[in-house]
A and B are shown apart, each in its own frame.
Chain A
Amino acid sequence: MLIAATIAILVVMIMATIRAIMGPTVYDRVLAVNMFGTKTVLLISLLGFVMGRPEFLDIAIVYALINFISVIGVLRYSDNFTLKKSEAQKK
């Protein structure tokens, strides 16, 4: 059952990567990266159980935090990109 869940999460990660490459707007890509990060947390927890090494959970905690900080960073710093674009359209 663990291995089936691992394969399911791998499939979903591939789907998220396809969306990250395809997505027309930047927000699609940010969404895909966020989802990829969350699935990586699950993948590492499951791999830790499959391979019998519970030290992997530290990495999972770090991933969850880093994923959050990256998404907040992208949103914070992409504010002035789209602000410049919409101001250019208004002119």
Chain B
Amino acid sequence: MSTKNCEHEFFMSDSDLFSLYSSGGLEKTILMFKGLLTQDILVVLAEMLTNNLSNDPRQKTTKKMFSIFVELAQNIHRYSAERFVVEGKDVGAGIVLVNEFKTYYTLISGNVIDNEKLQVLKNNIEQINNMDEESLKNYRKDKLKQKREEGDKGAGVGLIDIARKSSRQIELRIKELENNKSFISFYILLEKEL
């Protein structure tokens, strides 16, 4: 007789997994990943994503997609409040989702952040969304010339690059959680360029 028990309380129920599976819109999801965004995983996901773009002979959309995806994933890596140490490196966790529609792609990323960082992020997005192409270009150059803040490995231009390469304004959604934390998500639209 088997001694293995089948105790369902250890797992999510089947319907939970199905709701997750179908939430991206079954046939449209070209990539969904939740977990630690290590450099190795980022490389695999970015290559997988851009190798699979259909009908992009001049690679215009592919290059933009690659760039937006890397910036979103590295923002999670740097700024997620859910952090783990992997092979001696401090890594952030989050979720990324890429869907394909007839004339465009959507890229969505999400992670938890401390509420104290929310206001700066909101202001930054609002400022970027209100800029035209020329102002974004100049703003980016100012940021590249600025001295780095202590301990910041980023350049502060990831969101500017996302805004310049995407086809609509960056949409930031915020869901408040407990313990002074919030779940933030970026919604990015990229039109197919033929």
Our verdict on whether A and B bind, yes or no, reads: no
Residues of A within 8 A of B (CB): none
